Each structure stands twice: as C-alpha cells, then as structure tokens.
Structure 1
Amino acid sequence: MSSASQQPTVVLIGPPGSGKSTIGLLLADRLGLSFRDTDTDVEAVAGKPVSDVFVEDGEARFRELEAVAVQAALEGHDGVLSLGGGAVLHGPTQELLAGHRVVYLRVGLDQAVKRVGLASARPLLVLNPRSQLRKLMEERRPVYERLAVTTVETDDREPADIVAEIAATL
C-alpha cells in the first residue's frame, strides 16, 4: 500500500487539556499502532517549540505550518493522530477531516485548567489563562462537535477508561 492511500485509524480533536497526547499514545499502544501529533510535526519543521513559533513567527505562520502538517498526516499516517486544538478552525482542514474517524475528547473548563495549568507555556493562554481557555473552548466547541463521529467525555475519568471506550467504538 502506498503512503498516499494510508489514512489514520482515528483522529483525536479537542481543546488544550482534553488529553489528546496522553490518550493518543495509550490508544496507539493498545491498538498496536503508531502515534503522531501534528504539533510535534510542526516543531520538527520549524526547528523550535510551538510556543517559540507563536512568539517569534506569529500565530499566522504557526497556522500555515499546522495546516501543512495536518494534511500530510491525514494523507500518510495510518495510526492514531492527534491534532492541535486549533487545527480544526482551518476550513480546508475541516474538509479534509470528512470521512475520517474523528473522536472529540470533551473536557470541562475546570478539568482543562487543572491539566494545562495556569502557568502554562501555551501561547494562546498567556494573558488571563482561565478566561482565555474558557473563550477558546466556547468558540471551538461547535466545530469539534460538528466534525466528530464520536464524542468521549474525559472529566474525572482515568485515561485507561477513555482509551477502552474509544477502542470499543473502532
């Protein structure tokens, strides 16, 4: 099979703190698949952490790199794929996600704050992190819900239970 015909077994979406990386790694392990995170792909191309791309190059440049990373991963990765929280805001990315098994990891604000931390290095949460996170979650929730084939609640749950629920839907 050529890499052009590969597609992810499952694509995880959700806001910061929803557990995309943690759940993605555990799910890939459980299914015997590889794990890929588009934020890691962006860092590899940029040669620096995502937070530095935002600060030094701006959010627009980050979103350009992210869109390319997402397209490449959707076309050439056959394992578990985790998208950055804001990747779904890009119209062409939304179109590319059609037909994929997309799982929205839903998390409440309080849990997201606990997981992300208020002293976070996440660039979009620099000023008043709790308020920024709330705003971003509210803005993105309809997009996550529309794109998802499955929604999984993550609040007050062990990662292994979340992974078992996702695996049961595949």
Structure 2
Amino acid sequence: MKPAVVLVGPPGAGKSTVAAIVASRLGLAVRDTDDDIEAEQGISVQDIFVEAGEPRFRELEHRAVARALSEHDGVVSLGGGAPLHPQTRQLLRDHRVVFLDVGLAQAAARVGLNSGRPLLLGNVRGQLKRLMDERRPVYTEVASVRIDTDGRTPEEVAEAVVDVVKESR
C-alpha cells in the first residue's frame, strides 16, 4: 500500500489545507503525521517540543511518517521538518512527493505573528526565513514535483496536486 501523494513544504505552504481538498476531490482519506503524533502521545506537538525536546519529537515524527507511508493509500501531509530526518528522506524516495513551495511573505502572512509553532518562537519572520533557507534543498531533494503556492488559492493548488496524481496513475 502506498499513498496517492505525499505533501511536503515549509510552515505556511498550506499542506494540511491542500491535503484535505485533494483527498476530497479524489475520494481518498487524508492523514496528517502531526495529528498522528498528537493522538499517539496525547499532547500537542508544541508540548512535545517543550517537554521532551526537538530530538525526541523528530524520532516520533519519523516513526509516524514511516507508519503513514506503509499503511495509508490516500493523501499524506508531513510536518515541515519531517524530511530533515535522513531515514525519512530514504523512505520518501519510493513515493510521489509534492513540494508545496511558498515565498517568505506569503508564508509569514499565513502562519501569522502569534504562531504556536515551536520553531517559530520569537522573531517569526526571521525564524521562518531561516527554516525555509535551510529546508529548501531537502524539500527539493525528496520531491517528484514542485508546486508554487504564492498568489494561489488552496483550491488552485489542490487542483495542481490532483493533476499530478492523475497524470501518474
């Protein structure tokens, strides 16, 4: 069993929103690995970062991604940092991965300045730029396709993802 498509990208790219629309249009289920982690651990991603630290979260995240990739045949949305784990990158090689790319201005507007995202605490725009700069090469490495989300509605981005899925079937 393999997912129809896996979405990756930085915070603010619209992964969760687009995943839900794509799943609906294709008649598939959606799975978000951050939701899986929260359900398994019984606490929020933010609390895991605070209580256990980022290394522990990344291990939980890798396990959640591995399960989703082997158990789910719908649409999978990964947390923004999931592809940083070397073993996760290896697993993604066998899947249709779409990188939802977004510019800094759009990402900052979508994430907001009062972000509950643990890696964006403090100067949200500065932290977001740093994360995006660090992660872009990783997203590019794991992706089969890159879709620019700037200036596009979630529905327009979802339609582009649906096209990718239909073309590869």
Q: Which residue of 2 aligns with 1:145?
A: 140
What is the TM-score with the length of structure 2 in the denominator? 0.96
Q: CA deviation at 1:49?
A: 0.7
Q: Which residue of 2 aligns with 1:116?
A: 111
Aligned alpha-carbon RMSD (Å): 0.6
**Pair 1:131-2:126 in alignment:** yes
**Pair 1:16-2:11 in alignment:** yes
User: Which of 38, 51, 67 is residue 72 of structure 1 equivalent to?
Assistant: 67
Deviation digits for residues 99-140 of structure 1, max 9, x if unmatched? 200000000000000000111010001121111100000000
Q: Which residue of 2 aligns with 1:102?
A: 97
Q: Percent of aligned positions with the same letter in both sequences?
A: 56
State the distance in 1 between where 2:37 and 2:118 align.
Answer: 15
Q: CA deviation at 1:159?
A: 1.2
Q: Which sections of structure 1, spanning at least 5 residues, go unmatched? A: 1-5
Runs of 4+ in structure 1 off by over 4 angstroms are: none
State the distance in 1 between where 2:141 and 2:58 align.
Answer: 21
Range with greater deviation from structure 2 (12-21 or 55-64):
55-64
Q: Which sections of structure 2, spanning at least 5 residues, go unmatched? A: none
Q: CA deviation at 1:64?
A: 1.1
User: For 1:152-167, what aligned pairs fall within 5 Å after superposition?
Assistant: 152-167=147-162
